[in-house]
Amino acid sequence: MAGTARQTARGRASPRDPSQVQSLTRALSLLNALAESADGMSLGDVAQVVGLAPSTAHRLLTTLQGQRFVRFVAGEGVWQVGVQAFIVGQAFRRARDVLALARPVMRRLMEDSGETVNLYIEEGGEVVCMGQVECRQLMRAISRPGGRVKMHCSGVGKAMLARLPDAEVTRILQLYGLARMTEKTLDTPRRLRDDLAEIRRRGFAIDDEEHAVGLRCVAAAIVDEEGRPVAALSLSGPLARIGDAALYAAGALVARAAETVTGQFGGRPTA
């Protein structure tokens, strides 16, 4: 049998947990088992490794195959990990790498500005906080790692939108809309596009109470070698501390920090 005892221990589906979706848990167990096999596994072998009936394993594998997470090599009669699993893994690698590069820059930026520094990536029409360096102030921004916010009403989201082609911005707006979060939210395509043009000219984005009343944020995108955004850095704090003069000074700081991380990432500097 191709599966080893180590594979059996890791690949076997865990006992039923009421909070889990059983079919999803089983499918992921199959994917994990195949990931540990260099040459792929037959249906019987992978079913035995994860403790499933061959018919159940085959149904789950064909579902995964439809999404390209696994593939069947007919000539060898084995199942292998598919290209979509690689694509998902690459997305995580990019997020992990940029966060590791950004950490020292984020700490310096917090010290220079006195405000909380965040790093976000885009996912499904929203931006997700992947890392944070909190300031020492008693009043701090409420965002936490793992938190999500819509792109159109956040500094980081707008900073990333400003680096995307117009057709892609249109697609995102059509898919996810422009929900109004506060009185200052840019809730029409024209207002948002005007702001994106200003972001490109200025070099950083401003969230002036557009997501939460009393909170201001400045942000700048980190881009790859093609100029596409992979993440964005932001400084955020209460309106009481970030007045108009402080807002633009903070914007210049975050723009320089994003340029530093972009250079370390191998990205193309802003024109």
Give per-residue pLDDT as tens, 21-40: 899 999 999 999 999 887 89
The pLDDT assigned to 63 comes to 96
Residue 102 has pLDDT above 70, yes or no: yes
Q: Which of 138, 135, 127 is nearest to 232 (CA)?
A: 127
The DSSP string of 15-78 is PP-TTS-HHHHHHHHHHHHHHT-TT-B-HHHHHHHHT--HHHHHHHHHHHHHTTSEEEETTTTE
Backbone dihedral region for residue 203 (phi beyond 0: left; psi -120 to 50: alpha; all else: beta): left
For range 173-192, the mean pLDDT: 95
Where residue 6 falls among pLDDT bands split at 50, 70, 90?
A: very low
**C-alpha 186: how far from chain center:** 23
Does the structure show a pLDDT above 80 at 20?
no
Q: Where in the chain is the domain with CATH 1.10.10.10?
A: 5-81
Whether the pLDDT of residue 164 is over 70: the answer is yes
Share of the chain above pLDDT 90, in %: 69
Q: Where in the chain is the domain with CATH 3.30.450.40?
A: 89-265
Does residue 116 carry a pLDDT above 80? yes
Cα separation, 119 vs 156, whole angstroms: 8
How do residues 54-93 score in pLDDT, each as one tens digit? 999 999 999 999 999 999 999 899 999 999 988 887 777 6
Question: Average of pLDDT values for 171-186?
Answer: 94
Percent of the chain with pLDDT over 70: 88
The correct CATH number of 89-265 out of 3.30.450.40, 3.40.640.10, 3.40.50.300, 1.10.3720.10 is 3.30.450.40
Of 50-54, 90-94, 157-161, least confident by mean pLDDT is 90-94
pLDDT tens digit sequence for 204-261: 999 999 999 999 999 999 999 889 999 999 999 888 888 888 999 999 999 999 999 9
5-81 to CATH, choices 1.10.10.10, 2.70.40.10, 3.40.605.10, 3.40.50.880: 1.10.10.10
Instruction: For residues 119-129, give the mean pLDDT.
Output: 92
